[in-house]
Structure 1
Amino acid sequence: MKKWINCIFKVLQGISVALFTIGISVIASLNLRSIYKYSIQKYDLDKIGQLSKEKLMEDYNILLNYLQNPFAKKLKFNNFIMSSNGEFHFYEVKKIFLSIYLIVLIFVLIFIVIYLIKKYNNKKIKLIKSLNYGANTLISIITVLLTSIFIDFSKAFIIFHKIFFNNEYWIFDSKTDPIINVLPEEVFKLYALVVIIFTLIAIIVYKTIYISYNKHSKLN
């Protein structure tokens, strides 16, 4: 019984570290505005949207602020019209991003509480193994994501939306929501790859810390 409990505890540690890492990676990628600047140039979004790069970035910044600001109640672009369905979809996306922020915050608070409790009881905090469990969990997740992206990103993109949205408001009509013309599927693929790159960096860091710790422990 104790063996099963330890196994479950290890899995939970791995999932916790993985969720925290992916959350941080998503937030970092979302706020990396240079990705969209690069997308404008690479995919000629200024020509497609018939707007200058400055105006596209202007509305992109408005969107980012709305998605991440819990106090922003209304989304209104300066250069694009938007349907009620389109606005509702962005509201649902906003809830997802705010949930990611909440998850990251919860894990940070949990770590602080554990740290304070351990420090109060004069005990060392052992997070090295947790990082290794998290790295192993992330390797599994990244393998699935990379396979999905390179085999058929369009299908993976559709499945993602069907999982997280219980309606079809995410299927934009360019006539009523022309913003979709400057947010093509390729842009989301690029963001997904950047999230994966950040996550891979985290895996390398976690594994390096774990291996270095083990070597140091054996020497002592």
Structure 2
Amino acid sequence: MMKSVSRKQWLSGLCVILFSMSLAIFLTVNSVWLFDINMHTENLKTLTGLSFSQMHQEYLRIIDYLQNPFISQLNFKCFRSSAAGLLHFRDVRHLIMLNNVVLLILIPVMIICWRNLWRSKLTWLIMSPIKIVVTVFIMVVAMMMVNFNQVFIWFHELLFRNEDWIFDPDKDPVINMLPESLFLQLFLLFFVLFFLLAFLWYFLAKWQLKNAQNNGR
């Protein structure tokens, strides 16, 4: 019986966690507003020589390319690009599209999983997995705050098998529009969104558990 409960616990927790991560990634990728803020706070107008409107449109082209399967090529209007730079954008595009597919699959799975757990009053099964993942992510955030550059390098070495992600501003001046501080904020935004979603599931599970305990008295 304990093995059955443990298996159900981890499968249910995994579904909730993967859905939360995938949704957080999707929302982060589409947070164009964060880039718009950085255009002003990071003085990107001086770094790129472009107007705010031009930078905004170029960023939208990146986001559109990363997510629109009907766009086959990334074409900047104001930046030249190297073959390696375009290859990296293509690699990122594959990862983003994979996440979008996973998210679409997990939406109905998540609904069914959560509905079954809620009706069976077993949402408490996801509490331990959530606490474990949140703890690990908090450690990652702490490492980022100490040395984000090193974490950023590890992240790219983990996901990419080449070094095309190391942009040369002379060959790919678009990197001047994408400072390290922007990536730090995007990473932090992802974690904040994930923590909010995890807290929501954890709060609902704890609320149901508390009610079940009170009604059982």
Which of 193, 198, 206 aligns to 2:201? It is 206
CA 1:162–1:104: 2 relative to 1, 3 Å? same
Q: Percent identity?
A: 24
- The Cα shift of 1:31 comes to 1.1
Q: Which deviates more from structure 2 when the two are superposed, residues 104-113 or residues 158-167?
A: 104-113
2:130 is equivalent to residue 135 of structure 1: yes
Count of residue correspondences: 214
Contact 1:49 1:181 in 2 (8 A): yes
Contact 2:20 2:194 in 1 (8 A): yes
- Once residues 126 and 173 of structure 1 are traced to their aligned partners in structure 2, the CA distance between those partners, rounded to angstroms, is 55
Look up the match of 2:145. Answer: 150
Which residue identity lines up with residue 26 of structure 2 in the other structure?
I
Look up the match of 2:66. Answer: 67
- Once residues 152 and 102 of structure 1 are traced to their aligned partners in structure 2, the CA distance between those partners, rounded to angstroms, is 32
Which of 156, 166, 170 aligns to 1:175? It is 170
Contact 1:17 1:134 in 2 (8 A): no
- The Cα shift of 1:126 comes to 5.1
**Any unmatched runs of 5+ in structure 1?**
none
SS in 2 for 1:188: helix
CA 1:38–1:192: 2 relative to 1, 3 Å? same
Look up the match of 1:19. Answer: 18
Contact 1:59 1:78 in 2 (8 A): yes
CA 1:127–1:193: 2 relative to 1, 3 Å? farther
> In angstroms, what is the RMSD of aligned CA positions?
2.2
- Once residues 132 and 106 of structure 2 are traced to their aligned partners in structure 1, the CA distance between those partners, rounded to angstroms, is 17
Contact 2:28 2:186 in 1 (8 A): yes
Which residue identity lines up with residue 17 of structure 1 in the other structure?
V
Contact 2:121 2:208 in 1 (8 A): no
SS in 1 for 2:210: helix
Contact 2:65 2:71 in 1 (8 A): yes
- The Cα shift of 1:130 comes to 4.8
Contact 1:18 1:137 in 2 (8 A): no
